[in-house]
Amino acid sequence: MAHKRAAAPEADPYFPAHGDTRYRVHRYELAVDYRPASNRLRGTARIGAVAGGAALREFALDLADFRLQRVVVDGRPAHYVHRAGRLRIRPAKAVEAGAAFTVEVHYTGNPQPVTSQWGGLGWEELTDGALVASQPVGAPSWYPCNDRPADKATYQISVTAPSVYTVVVGGRLLSRTTRASSTTWVYEQAAPTSSYLVTVSIGRYEAVQLSGGGSVLAPRRPVPQTGYVPARLRGQFAVDFGRQTRMMDFFEDVFGAYPFDGYAVVVADEELDVPVEAQGVATFGTNHLGGQRRSERLVAHELAHQWFGNSLSIGDWRHIWLNEGFAKYAEWLWSEHTGGPTAASHAATAHARLARLPQDLTPGDPGRRLMFDDRLYQRGGLAVHALRRALGEGAFFRMLKGWTAVHRHGVVTTSALAAHAARYTAHPLDAVFDLWVHRSALPPAGELED
């Protein structure tokens, strides 16, 4: 009996100029040397990949405007053209269909954020240091990559910087070596990671260990949690992130085991519009502190993304509500758990607010222009709450744990969630997804009630 070949992945409809579906990456080894005083970066990327169902006579990587020194495929110099953020490579010998191959790119320059409708994305020079916040397409601002969220790979990242700086990268710190006035930090991210979720923070930070984990009823090995904070803000950080270890325990109870080796929080010494999640790391600004826990919902939101968005990554950007809707709902669950307004109360408030706003956003396919509109976050949270009401308490929370377990470190879509949730009820859920995910009109508030 002949086996049907799986369909080749399609280009992301929101960012068709990013990524290359003709191959997939399984490993990045990045070595960068960064000088903050001059904003100068020298990098080497070694990329292990596998060709798709056809021979590769050429392929593309995404990379911003750096000066290229050498491009090598399988040890042989390759012909390349680098223009408008695309590095098109023609190997000396075509890569056979299904064959593994290795690309090396040596580059240098002054990293700049990628321009977008949401402002600069990717590598950002700070007053004293740098940070990376790449969602959705900023990764090429500092390294060559196949910039598609579904093309997840492992990473080893080496960053050399002046020794006065601390370097934070998502993953496990393998080594820290000082020579003269520079220190090289080497991190390993063993879990498959989307390119936009790779981050680097370089700054004058003090490391703060957060303790806790487990309970008498459910003992567990605590997840290592570290804060990297400007020294003068340690007191405020202790208050504003003081309940994060409890939050981690609660989220493990409702979402399942934390999916990575550890979790780091960086407070950059700058004000940031919004916090930003990355794999195993979240970055906040000084404006998110204050010693009064006023940003605790954001602490919950970014932590929840480690499950929803990072471990479970979207197949393409049409499905962004799966990241933001579940992270928004995590805010509501934490509020409910800690004696604040219930998730139902938050849902009612969100619904009333959305009812006064234009009804031109479809959560399941919002379009590039509206993919980070606040209404998508709120509508996504309402969709999750509607699913909770339809399934019932026990089935809903079993569904959540099953969702994160079955697709751990994988790629998900809205249709996959619908199929998964259907296993937890005898009643059809088509109307729930149709009303709350696939229509732009806001359903009546009564649809959220039992």
Q: What is the DSSP string of 255-272?
A: H-S--SS-EEEEE-SS--
301 is in an annotated binding site: yes
Pick the CATH number of 314-448 from 3.40.470.10, 3.40.50.150, 1.10.390.10, 2.60.130.10: 1.10.390.10
Domain edges within the chain? 23-122+132-200, 206-306, 314-448
- Calculate the average pLDDT of the chain: 95
- Which position has the token pair 């606040």? 374
pLDDT at residue number 212: 61
Decide if pLDDT at 54 tops 50. yes
Tell me the per-residue pLDDT of 390-441, one tens digit each, with 9 for 90 and over. Answer: 999 999 999 999 999 999 999 999 999 999 999 999 999 999 999 999 999 9
* Distance, CA of 221 to CA of 223 (rounded, Å): 6
Pick the CATH number of 206-306 from 3.40.50.11260, 3.40.50.300, 3.90.950.10, 1.10.390.10: 1.10.390.10
Beta strand residue intervals within 110-171, DSSP E? 122-126, 129-133, 153-162, 166-169
* Contact (Cβ atoms closer than 8 angstroms) between residue 321 and residue 363: yes
Q: At 354, which amino acid appears?
A: L
pLDDT at residue number 1: 40
Q: Taking the CB of residue 161, how many other CB atoms lie within 10 A of it?
A: 22
Tell me the per-residue pLDDT of 179-233, one tens digit each, with 9 for 90 and over. Answer: 999 999 999 999 999 999 999 999 999 999 997 655 444 456 789 999 999 999 9
The pTM score is 0.95
Fold designation for 23-122+132-200? Immunoglobulin-like (2.60.40)
407 is in an annotated binding site: no
* Distance, CA of 5 to CA of 102 (rounded, Å): 25
Comparing 206-306 with 314-448, is the CATH topology the same?
yes
